[in-house]
Amino acid sequence: MSTWLTEFADALSAGDGDRTAALFADESYWRDLVSFTWNLVTVEGPAGAADLVRSEAARQASPVSFSVDGTPTESDGITEAWLKFETAIGRGTGHLRLNAEGRAWTLLTTLDELKGHEEPRGERRPFGTEHGANPDRVTWRERREAEAAELGYTRQPEVVIIGGGQGGIALGARLRQLGVEAIIVESNERPGDSWRKRYKSLALHDPVWYDHLPYLKFPDNWPVFAPKDKIGDWLEMYTRVMELNYWGSTTAKNATYDEAAGEWSVVVDRAGEEVTLRPKQLVFALGVSGKPNIPEIPGRETFQGEVQHSSQHPGPDAYKGKKVVVIGSNNSAFDICGALWEVGADVTMVQRSSTHIIKSDTLMEYGLGDLYSERALANGVDTYTADMIFASLPYRIMHTFQKPTYDKAREVDADFYRRLTDAGFDLDFGDDDSGLFMKYLRRGSGYYIDVGAADLVADGKVKLVRGQISELSEKEVVLADGTRLEADLVVLATGYGSMNQRAADIIGQEMADKVGKVWGLGSDTTKDPGPWEGEQRNMWKPTQQEALFFHGGNLHQSRFYSLYLALQLKARSVGIPTPVHARQESHHTA
């Protein structure tokens, strides 16, 4: 291990691609998060590693030192080790897997901090008060009030973040700690309202150990699956504690980029006041999805009942005794069906395409338990370590690590899956049987983490039909095969479009097309067209539009990737050159 690392450091320092290539196996993957590429990039094979080492970004990084951190381990012919390294611009962490021949199979390198711009934490934390007498003393509250009054008006922020959910808030916290002035623009009034305003039964489907935000973990007695209003309160508290400049009741109307000036003009409506912000960097933090997908349905104007998208559904209380048809069969559809059934509605689910389902207990035990659980914590795997282990698995081969979890699920939950399919449910486990995470990473949808509602379908308590909606009559939903479903309410649990589509409303379609599709890997699986990118498309990294970034995902991704995006933004704010290696092309449109 030490010999490999010494040879690698020497070759990297010399920019010697040939020597670097000799250290990598024919099937190998080097995933770099900012440290040597100013990008999020996975290169493949010896040629990919050689190309990275010869890049301008790697030459600028000019590595200073590499060392093994801790004791390497060996299993099944693979030797693993954690690494620490320094470059001319920062300090980082790495993870290396060597095959039996002593060549690299996987390498992860991540930038942890920029030299001279470290976060004020640990021994560098601020003192917090000023001892002694000072007639010109300014209190913490006075400083915060002055900042709120000035920023965006007499003083411009470095960064504007459009979107104030968990993604925007996590990034805002990172930037605050790095000393980068940012404003978060959110149309909802309060932080957390994007959760509070959703349907009544909404809750996190990911377990608590997976969902911490940066700097401030959930309490030890926090529920495993937090309800939406509890999450809303947490986000509001977090925003205040982390001292974020959060502009609620503010809608971004349009944004244009002045290349000559190197700044954006972002016009927002702040509670009825039009304000023009002029940041250097613009970030869209819109979660995974964009605008609601609301299909055009013939006959909607004649339908006498209500039609709602799932994002507009207020909850079940008003629909006791009503006939409800829910179009869709993913997370929102099941949650809404379950809540409606509980209040006594007559509920029918319309499944349009196959859906993956994994029971929450099974996912926690076999899918997440080794990394994110009380068991993992007892074994010394904290959140940071779990995140790094997960990040060390290249996307190209991640499905092979995921497949055993879902093979096990089909074994232990065989009766559950049999009852679902006997009820007529069209079940799948992904194109290559790799299950939930790969579906999420590839397409952002197509699954349900079961917290009970699927049993209602399996038991026939929520009725199930399969097909495509054709039209609405005065009182019925009509499917393409002629099936007619009486309905007082139709809920369109039909998902959301790409973030790119929502961004186009603000930056214009031409610029959105220049950026290309956001999210997915290019795996050539269902709803994830190629070419292969090796990373999430246009997420957390430079795009084809200068000074424009996208950030978001689930709470885990918001926590983890916010650091790497914040470091890129900080470097730009202080004038550190950021030559980007392998910037993504605009292969994909929204």
Domains and CATH numbers, the chain: 2-114 (3.10.450.50), 146-291+497-573 (3.50.50.60), 300-492 (3.50.50.60)
Residue 452 burial (CB < 10 Å; 0-12/13-18/19+)? exposed
Query: Edge-to-edge strands of the sheet including 263-270?
Result: 250-258, 263-270, 273-277
Tell me the pLDDT of the chain (590 aa) as tens digits. 999 999 999 999 999 999 999 999 999 999 999 999 999 999 999 999 999 999 999 999 998 899 999 999 999 999 999 999 999 999 999 999 999 999 999 999 999 999 999 999 999 999 888 888 999 999 999 999 999 999 999 999 999 999 999 999 999 999 999 999 999 999 999 999 999 988 888 888 889 999 999 999 999 999 999 999 999 999 999 999 999 999 999 999 999 999 999 999 999 999 999 999 999 999 999 876 667 889 999 999 999 999 999 989 999 999 999 999 999 999 999 999 999 999 999 999 999 999 999 999 999 999 999 999 999 999 999 999 999 999 999 999 999 999 999 999 999 999 999 999 999 999 999 999 999 999 999 988 889 888 789 999 999 999 999 999 999 999 999 999 999 999 999 999 998 888 888 899 999 999 999 999 999 999 999 999 999 999 999 999 999 999 999 999 999 999 999 999 999 999 999 999 999 999 999 865 54
User: For residues 236 and 165, is the Cβ–Cβ distance under 8 A?
Assistant: no
Can you give the pLDDT at residue 288?
63
Can you give the pLDDT at residue 205?
85
User: For residues 287 and 165, is the Cβ–Cβ distance under 8 A?
Assistant: yes
% of the chain surpassing 70 pLDDT:
99
Note the pLDDT tens digit of each residue in 86-105. Answer: 999 999 999 999 999 999 99
Can you give the pLDDT at residue 159?
98
User: For residues 97 and 106, is the Cβ–Cβ distance under 8 A?
Assistant: yes
**Token digits for 318?**
């008003």
State the Cα–Cα distance between residues 305 and 482, nearest whole angstrom: 20
Residue 521 burial (CB < 10 Å; 0-12/13-18/19+)? buried
Note the pLDDT tens digit of each residue in 497-525. Answer: 888 888 999 999 999 999 999 999 999 99
Average per-residue pLDDT for the chain: 95
